[in-house]
Amino acid sequence: MLSLDNAYAEEELLAWHERLERLLASGERPRFVVEAKIDGLSCSLAYERGILTRGATRGDGETGEDVTANVRTIRSIPLELGAFGQAVPEFLEIRGEIVLYKEDFKAINAALLAEGREPFVNPRNCAAGSLRQKDPRVTASRRLRFIVHSFGAWRPDCPVNGHCEFLAAAKAMGLRVEPHRVFDSIAEVAAEYRRFKEAELERLPYAVDGLVVKVDSFAQQRRLGATAKSPRWAIAFKYPAQQASTVVEDVVFSVGRTGAITPVAKVKPVFCAGVTISSVTLHNFDEIERLGVRVGDTVLIERAGEVIPKVVKVSRRAAASRAIRPPADCPVCSGRVAREADSVAYYCQNPSCPAQIKRSLLHFASRAAMDMQGLGEQVVEALVDSGRVRVLSDVYALRLEDLRALPLFAEKRAGNLLGQIAASRKRPLDKLLYGLGIRHVGERAAELLAQRFSLEELAAAGEEDLQKVADIGPVAARSIREFFRSGEVRDLVEQLRKAGLSLRKIERPQNADSPLAGKVFVFTGELARLSREEASERVKALGGKTSGSVSSKTSFVVAGDSPGSKLKKARELGVAVLDEAAFLALLPKGLEP
């Protein structure tokens, strides 16, 4: 389930429209469907021969949470679809939003307060919490609603030709569809954006943060395609961030997985953008100095969509205001705090700090790293607080009785988690390197390093050797060297070796006869026929390499639609530039899209 790109101003909407016109055939004008962008919880429903068989949350876009038992209790979700045309589809995956009406949200919070319990902060969080209840009877009592916005699969072939027809079909099958409007020009869409804000936005029974604009024709949608993250044929046209004034009452400090200390302002609770805000990030101490913010000041804060609230400016200085200073000691472990060179952040210097261990373990177990499903926040909290995990390698020493001793685990759940941990031992070295959380080493850098070094070789490599790897500059090389210089890290590597993890470098097949062998490609802009990830995989399959930055080592820059600064850098360095057609011409038969 992809996410949508956002536009916050009419100029951004017009720029999106111009991209559509460049990608479509000359003179081909799209028709647009405009719907309210409902601020709910994304959900997927699978129907087989008309019978509801599965409900799942969006999760990370590829893997979600099974909530089938709970979605069955939502009255607006039919357990059996009505016929569309002569029959129901053999398989239909419907997508939409789980929402809670504002009046129902108020009633739930009033009941929670009457019981002396913590209320929900907004309807979306309440809907998410209600859908994930272990007891479906609780979900049933919360009056959730499901509103359709699209589908992911329709088999056999979808019998409708556009989004408007799909919405009509969904309604005919008994699914709930909200009102939508159709326009022939982007100017009409912009006018609807203004009209909707004035006439409808505040009157709707549920939270809305903008409009969704879609190309109606499915044929045009297919030609426009998608990037790795978003469809090109749709955009969320959001309303500007909402602002509010409040008072900074105190500042607390949170500790991240790298030890970075982030100042967080505790403010007088204020309602803004559908949420009661009591905490606002201050980012770092350079930002505090730039804003000139002090405890006691009245500040203007801003929140847009799901973005963390931030301070925009100081509105009024209090007579008895207090300066905000970096902490001398870590607020979690009381370890020494220092500001590192070339960094705006202050860091806890204690690698055994519990806050760092918790966040490091969550990162280590994430899908992009060691992929241990079931090792979420609650489990990590319990494992670290109980002392069962003090360093990352301890997770591989966990036994069934260790997990069963924790309140969170019954035998089946404990067994499932141990199975996930065992399976992670087979993950390749690049996933382990990324999971270790080395500063300045992301997924791409981890992959390049794992192709050049084994873990033992990487631990012993000097900065000059590291900088011979594409995308590894002086800052990353210094960070890697400092990381492996630590005695705790050397011990960790040894424990991971004993646990049976793969520490060998990744061997990629050699394609010496390929015209791409040994060539370094950089992609910029959006490709029409391939995602950049797909194009990169084809380059690697033919013995080539990809990089995220342009340098004298770059062989080709492939420029798609709306290229960025990499194209300018390529021209400055005299690097060969290919358009998408020229790149595809390099691919042998069988690898072209």
Looking up residue 582, the CATH number of its domain turns out to be 3.40.50.10190
Of 220, 238, 256, which one is at a domain's C-terminal end?
A: 238
Domain identity same for 70 and 210 = yes
Q: What is the arithmetic mean of pLDDT over 525-544?
A: 79
Instruction: Say if 504 falls within a structural domain.
Output: no
Domain of residue 402, CATH code = 1.10.150.20
Percentage with pLDDT > 90 across the chain:
40
Domain identity same for 57 and 189 = yes
Domain identity same for 112 and 204 = yes
Instruction: Say if 254 falls within a structural domain.
Output: yes
257 closest CA partner among 397, 408, 380, 424? 380
pLDDT in tens, 357-404: 888 898 899 888 999 988 888 899 899 889 899 888 999 999 999 998
Contacts 24+ apart (CB under 8 A), 475-482: 475/342, 475/440, 476/440, 476/441, 476/445, 479/438, 479/439, 479/440, 479/441, 480/438, 480/440, 480/441, 480/449
Q: What is the arithmetic mean of pLDDT over 554-562?
A: 88
Domain identity same for 18 and 93 = yes
Give the whole-angstrom CA distance, residue 92 versus residue 9. 35
Instruction: Say if 593 falls within a structural domain.
Output: no
Instruction: Say if 511 falls within a structural domain.
Output: no
Least confident of 46-55, 418-427, 486-495: 486-495
Give the whole-angstrom CA distance, residue 88 versus residue 175. 13
pLDDT of 306 reads 47
Q: What is the DSSP annotation of 200-235?
A: TGGGSSS-EEEEEEEE-BHHHHHHH-B-SSSBTTEE
Confidence of residue 490 (pLDDT cuts 50, 70, 90): confident
Task: Characterize 30-49 residue by residue with b for buried, 16 or more Cβ atoms within 10 angstroms of its Cβ, and e for exposed.
Answer: bbbbbbbbbbbbbbbbbbee
Instruction: Say if 515 falls within a structural domain.
Output: no
Question: What is the average pLDDT value for the chain, to the nearest integer?
Answer: 87
Domain identity same for 124 and 255 = no
Domain identity same for 129 and 224 = yes
pLDDT of 385 reads 87
pLDDT of 266 reads 94
pLDDT of 342 reads 63
Confidence of residue 237 (pLDDT cuts 50, 70, 90): very high
Which range of residues forms the domain containing residue 483?
Answer: 429-498
Whether 37 is catalytic is yes
pLDDT of 360 reads 87
pLDDT in tens, 116-143: 666 776 788 888 888 988 788 888 888 9
Q: What is the arithmetic mean of pLDDT over 307-321?
A: 86
Who wins on pLDDT, 127 or 61?
Answer: 127
pLDDT above 70 (res 406)? yes
Domain identity same for 378 and 296 = no
Give the whole-angstrom CA distance, residue 458 versus residue 436. 13
Of 317, 349, 381, which one is at a domain's C-terminal end?
A: 349
Least confident of 111-120, 151-160, 253-262: 111-120
Q: Domain count for the chain, please give it.
A: 5
Q: What is the DSSP annotation of 120-143?
A: PSSHHHHHHHHHT-SSHHHHHHTT
Of 188, 220, 238, which one is at a domain's C-terminal end?
A: 238
Catalytic residue among 37, 214, 505, 545: 37
Domain identity same for 41 and 114 = yes
Domain identity same for 140 and 286 = no
pLDDT above 80 (res 510)? no
Domain of residue 339, CATH code = 2.40.50.140
Q: What is the arithmetic mean of pLDDT over 410-418?
A: 89
pLDDT of 274 reads 65
pLDDT of 513 reads 63
Domain identity same for 261 and 222 = no
